Structure 1
Amino acid sequence: MDVMPVTALRIDAVVFDMDGLLLDTESLAMRGLAQAATEMGLDAPEEFCHAMIGVPTDHCRILVAERFGPDFPADDFLAAASQQMGALIDAGSLQLKPGVPELLDHLDGVGMARAVATSSSRAKAHHHLRRTGILGRFDAVVTRDDVARGKPHPDLFLRAAQVLGRRPERCLALEDSYNGVRAAHAAGMQVIMVPDLLPPTTEVRETCLLIATDLHAVQPLISRPA
């Protein structure tokens, strides 16, 4: 993966996506969708499942209805997929993405404010962050329950900046999804993509400061707030 050269950033806060960026949940979500589809006798190819990455549940319902028809029980399907994913998490499959502890330690060292801005619900976000031991390492956790619109709208990132008391343009957003990059950019934040399951596109390359291999590559770019 190519990494564009970027000098130290002038920022006052970092806003993290959660799924696929902090936590290795996207692969578990894809497995949950595939297992739910198999149990219901459905054809759910990889591109269909990938289309739900970085998308809030309300829009996932639309994607399911578009594929399987307006009368299809979308909520039942998504609930079954969530249950399958939950079983994987309860079995100990949920892991932090590479570089998470080290980057959080670095932010502690330089005194940098940080928040999570996730399309997940508050209950799910707190459960997953707590289970991986990092819930208490953020100044704020902003979820889909806290805003009127999810990604790709900027609401989550704007709310995170507001809660942190920082201007959006002085915040760095870290994202792994296309909708997340779009949302952070629309909020006026500086954006770095750390791809998980989705490869960077031309749109993403033109929008982001950097396409990073992992969070280890982000750490040297962050110094003490000015």
Structure 2
Amino acid sequence: MVSNAVVETIFETKPTPVRGVIFDMDGLLLDSETLAMDALVSAGKDLGYDMPSVFCRRMIGLPADDCRRLVQGDYGAAFPLERFFALQEIHLRNFVDTGRLALKAGVVPLLDLLDRLGLPRAIATSSSRYRTDHHLKLVGLDHRFDATVTRDDVSRGKPSPEPYLTAARKIGVAPEFCLALEDSHNGARAAHAAGIPVIVVPDLLEATDEIRGKALAVVDDLDIVRAYIEKAAGMYGAE
């Protein structure tokens, strides 16, 4: 049951029309961050390195180049970086292809609402084009978005605003009239830098005071997001 009080509080703080929605993918649409962390740990073990999950979580929401810098900074120049990430990709693909990838709760009802309201939607993700297309097809979401922006489509990934600005442009909605949905800190920073109101639905990372300050709201699940968009459509009219 969605708390009406939560939805009302969001409107009291920063009421805004919603004419388009931009989604993060991993940890927001897909329950994939745990799989990615398990794949990193497994890749480290393959190479004889102890890579604790607490370290791996520091990579959530980072572009690939930043992940590489983070690993090399902690494990040194001799660390077999390319082999490590290649192995991580193999482990992740195996996890996904053996049925471990699932949708987050509330995704389908939220997309159904956007269909009913006629609101355009896009994905802005730090994942590669190959991984994005593969994962969306596996969970049956490959035809439910008007555009997808991956790390291969931009020169700078999150926390740069470029992914979100590109996604807004692709769906033809001004940033201030979009709503961003994120789970990661860098994703929230990217949306905020793009001038897009963002609701954060935390997955593996708890929202910090900084992220709460940048977000329209931090909520428990996508059902609250759906209630917010329904109310926004009622207040402003879907366009």
**Aligned residue number for residue 238 of structure 2:** 225
**Aligned residue number for residue 216 of structure 2:** 209
Q: Does 1:58 align with 2:65?
A: yes
Contact 1:3/1:211 (8 A) holds in 2: no
Question: How far does residue 9 in structure 1 lie from its aligned partner after superposition?
Answer: 4.0
Superposed CA RMSD in Å reads: 1.4
Contact 1:17/1:176 (8 A) holds in 2: yes
AA matched with 2:238: P
AA matched with 1:6: I
**Aligned residue number for residue 198 of structure 1:** 205
Instruction: State the SS of the aligned residue for 1:35.
Output: helix
**Aligned residue number for residue 39 of structure 1:** 46
Note the 1:25-174 alignment, pairs <5 A.
Answer: 25-174=32-181
AA matched with 1:10: P
- Render the CA deviation track for 1:105-151: whole Å, top value 9, x for unaligned: 01011111100000111111011001100110000011111110000
**Aligned residue number for residue 10 of structure 2:** 6
Question: How far does residue 71 in structure 1 lie from its aligned partner after superposition?
Answer: 2.5
**Aligned residue number for residue 188 of structure 2:** 181
Note the residue ranges of structure 1 that are not aligned, 5 or more in a row: none
Sequence identity percentage: 50
Question: How far does residue 43 in structure 1 lie from its aligned partner after superposition?
Answer: 1.8
Once residues 53 and 116 of structure 2 are traced to their aligned partners in structure 1, the CA distance between those partners, rounded to angstroms, is 41
- Runs (4 or more) in structure 1 with deviation over 4 Å come to none
Contact 2:16/2:177 (8 A) holds in 1: no
Instruction: State the SS of the aligned residue for 2:85.
Output: helix
Which is helix-richer, 1 or 2? 2
Please report the TM-score for the alignment, with normalisation by the length of structure 1. Answer: 0.96
Aligned positions, number: 225
Question: How far does residue 27 in structure 1 lie from its aligned partner after superposition?
Answer: 0.4
Please report the TM-score for the alignment, with normalisation by the length of structure 2. Answer: 0.91
Instruction: State the SS of the aligned residue for 2:18.
Output: coil
